[in-house]
Chain A
């Protein structure tokens, strides 16, 4: 029978199947960070269990770490410090490989996995973090788990799971100038909604997806969770293999060739059946910006803020009104021209070298507008170094952007980089929930180029007018 990419990876990892269809699923890579692991290690300790396969496990600190240049001198915030120290204690006790903040390889867990060659096609990859879906861009089945499951994987290297349903999102045609993977995925979420993928694994396919570089693909899969999906997937191809080749923890030499031979068997078979299919035309996509407090409240930058009065459904109307009041936007107002206070370029969605290049391309020869604070936070220490070597950092610094150390930073209000109440932020991250970037903060999600455009003009701007 013709199988999908998801079916193939799933079948290859079933260790045992129970009567009711629940599977014991083997996990190839377990990424661990400081926020969702302390209670899991504690559970192991209490039960007298070990980490079953330290060689499948890797740990890093990202959510809590400050991103200022002085951070190696010590972390001030006592609770953050405790979480980081707890992880360091746990990795030492259980023998788990670890990248501390003093290591150039430290960064956001979903940036370093692909960057180091830890995440490979055909693998099952989990992490106690919903954006684990990111790694699906390499053709791996990657999904977020809760802390009980983190403990379960540490102890058994498996999870108890039932297969998800298959969904295909096909993006045909060619993406217009000025649009990116971020605009594709925001447009997809706008179309299918934040629950559109619930219970499914989304495979992204089609000409426009094939044409994306690995960074663009990682961005697309990163936000499949915002479409409600369990995971996102893109079939591995020559772009994938070229990206992986030579990465420190990827197979090398003859092993690499063996791996590629296997990876080439993974793409969905001709005639494979999907439970749901959605088709988009890339040519119709324009730069996207969110206007509300969930990612499906998104529209083209050329759009105007919708009017709740036009919404027939009462619950939706109330929700829309609440979103507009939280975001301080008026129905009918043009999105372009809305003043921003802060610009954040970073997060596991958009902090790779390609993202920073795109931002620098817009910022070159311009300056951050008066009264705007603009942060650039590379996804890893290595991205930071590369950007410095390429001269991108210099362009951004000269344009008035803050150039910071790697971490989750302002993507979520857990470290010192936060919005203050009422501040409006153009952000390349993935969530615009109320208070996500700090209590009372207002988030507009957009691409790195669009964020840079907002930074230099001080307002939400159609980047196509600048490049």
Chain B
């Protein structure tokens, strides 16, 4: 997993509530056995016409947002399924940070595990950033994870909360599995106490 420390980038405004995982990456694109290559299918139904041509109105099809690395979104972003293809698709497109008033739990969790920082801010703050994002390439946002600060193009700093453990993992690009294996003896002790009546599947 890539580290996330500080990012200064173009932010794309997607002022829609309840962007579900089928919108982020429709089910027909889940047939891959790889983690990469999904960026072209990100938001497919919002982004492309039936014949595969781009819908010019969609934000990521506008020239100024093609290199966006931050997404400013509406309430309950990422609701729906547990598919990790949603953060993979965002990441493959180049998005490293999503800012919204709220997120669905599983998506929120999956983002951290893939080096994407999801930031929850009050709706008034998100509205300001949405306005900034509307300015396109002229207005870059800075997201500083160590300081837990989003910096607006006008210099205003907006602090955000992040779980300390997730912050630590993201700052250091740490793999959860390695961290957990450090608890091996506790896991083995636990397993020794599983009641004998609990059936084995093999």
Contacts and interface: CB of A to CB of B under 8 A. Distances in A.
Interface of A: 15-16, 18, 20, 22, 24, 26, 28-29, 35-36, 38-39, 42, 47, 49, 53-58, 63-64, 79-80, 82-83, 86, 95-97, 117-118, 120, 128-130, 132, 144-149, 151-152, 155-158, 160, 162, 194-195, 198-199, 228, 230, 249-251, 255-256, 258-259, 262, 294, 315, 319, 412-414, 421, 431, 433-436, 439
Nearest to A248: B199
A28 B27 contact: no
Given A144-B106, A250-B199, A24 B84 contact: no
Centre residue among A83, A148, A250, A434 by max chain B CB count within 10 A: A148
Nearest to B179: A160
A435 B79 CA distance: 15
Nearest to A433: B22
Centre residue among A15, A28, A199 by max chain B CB count within 10 A: A15
Nearest to B79: A194
B136 to A, nearest CB: 22
Interface of B: 16-18, 20, 22-23, 26-28, 30-35, 45, 50, 74-76, 79-84, 87, 102, 104-106, 109-110, 113-114, 163-165, 176-177, 179-181, 183, 186-187, 189-191, 195-202
Counting from the closest, the 5 A-B pairs by CB-CB distance are A79-B31, A38-B33, A55-B200, A146-B84, A144-B82
A24 B186 contact: yes
Contact of B165 (A22, A63, A145, A194): A22
A148 B155 CA distance: 36
A158 B79 contact: no
B186 A39 contact: no
B197 to A, nearest CB: 4
A16 B181 CA distance: 12
B84 A148 contact: yes
Nearest to A436: B22
Given A130-B82, A198-B105, A433-B22, A20 B45 contact: no
B45 A251 contact: no
Given A39-B34, A80-B31, A149-B113, A157 B198 contact: no
Contacts of B105: 198-199, 228, 230
Given A20-B163, A315-B17, A433-B22, A36 B79 contact: no
B180 A156 contact: yes
Contact of A439 (B26, B33, B79, B191): B26
Nearest to B185: A16
Contacts of A36: 82-84
Nearest to A431: B80
A225 B34 CA distance: 26
B79 A195 contact: yes
A156 B181 contact: yes
